[in-house]
A and B are shown apart, each in its own frame.
Chain A
Amino acid sequence: MRCDEVLQLLTAFSAGDVPVDVRPAMEAHLSDCARCRAALARVDVLAGALAGLPPPPLPEGLASRVVAAARQRHEAKPVAPGRSLPWWRPTSAPMRAAAAVAAFAFGIWGATELSQPSAAKAAGDNVQPAAETVLRDWFEAAPQDSLASRYLAAIKAEED
């Protein structure tokens, strides 16, 4: 293994969370590389400092307040039972007729929209979050101080 690969996995190694097929190679590298051993020691110090922090005391009555809020919401909008009547049964006949008219109108509108450029934009909006996650993962793999890492830092600064 190379140093950069080992350094990337030190936190997991310190927590005993490295896959068994990777662990021997990591141990072999650490026994030969003083720089990575020093980095591992720093990881252990940091892990110890964070783990040594006492857990924040739980506020009294937290669960009761959550449940009270849930009951309030439940009374306004009961949880739909998982094995309730079929979805079409509780509706009245006029509502079913209105739904059929709305579905027909939506179909006409959809057919019109699909032939226009705005449909492409709407589809793009739908896929954007997934694409953003993939790009972000990809940029995070870029070396420090590279153009990609500076771009990622600029995005984060904007979000923060």
Chain B
Amino acid sequence: MPGDEELMLRVRDGDLAAFEQLVRRHQREGWRVAYRFTGDAAEAEDLIQEAFLRILDAAAGYRPIATFRTYYYRVLTRLCLDHRRKKRPTLAEPLSQPADDSLSPSQQASRVERETLIQAALNALPGDYRMAVVLRYFEGLGGPEMAVAMGRSTKAVERLLSRARAALEPQLKDLSEL
């Protein structure tokens, strides 16, 4: 199976089938980032679409100097942060999860309540704090990779996380009761 960077080189040469492979391979992580960042499915989809189209538009100048994944996170992160500057987030209903038969109805309700609480707490954070939380806790990115994605220094990213944590803790103190 060709690697991401090899596929991007094919996209650079005009191969849309290679582009489709990249989209299918990376749609899931992009969706997680954009959805957790916006809390809104329609906005998240618009952002992912725009990220991939920008990558396609810029493909002619692509050089494989970093992993495609890092490049993709960077494009998407920038779009998300720009989007946040232009629009105040609204709390949308959480997406309905597939039913988990191992959970009782009250446990299912508790899971939805938990997700709503966490998403509301995330939405209340400034955009850069929220993106730092999403990249670290949901995507598992390390400091250097986050720094590249967010266009900040590794130290600045750790400071963002530290302050995001301080802002989140009081809002999420009720989680243990759910």
Contact = CB atoms under 8 A, between A and B. Distances in A.
A73 B53 contact: yes
A121 interface: no
A96 interface: no
Given A82-B9, A137-B152, A11 B169 contact: no
B142 interface: yes
Interface in B50-97: 52-53, 56-57, 59-60, 62, 84-85, 88, 94-97
B159 A67 contact: no
A140 B14 contact: no
A73 B59 CA distance: 13
B158 interface: yes
Interface residues of A, number: 47
Interface residues of B, number: 65
Contacts of B98: 57
A126 to B, nearest CB: 17
A80 B11 CA distance: 10
B113 interface: no
B136 A11 contact: yes
Contact of A15 (B28, B32, B136, B159): B136
Interface stretch (A2-10, A28-36, A98-106, A111-119): A2-10
A65 interface: yes
Interface string A65-95: 1110111011000111111000000000000
5 contacts: A55-B138, A56-B95, A57-B96, A57-B98, A74-B56
Interface of B: 9, 11-14, 16, 19-20, 23-24, 27-28, 31-32, 35-36, 41, 45, 48-49, 52-53, 56-57, 59-60, 62, 84-85, 88, 94-98, 111, 114-115, 118, 126-127, 133, 136-138, 140, 142-143, 151-153, 155-156, 158-163, 165, 168-169, 172, 175-176
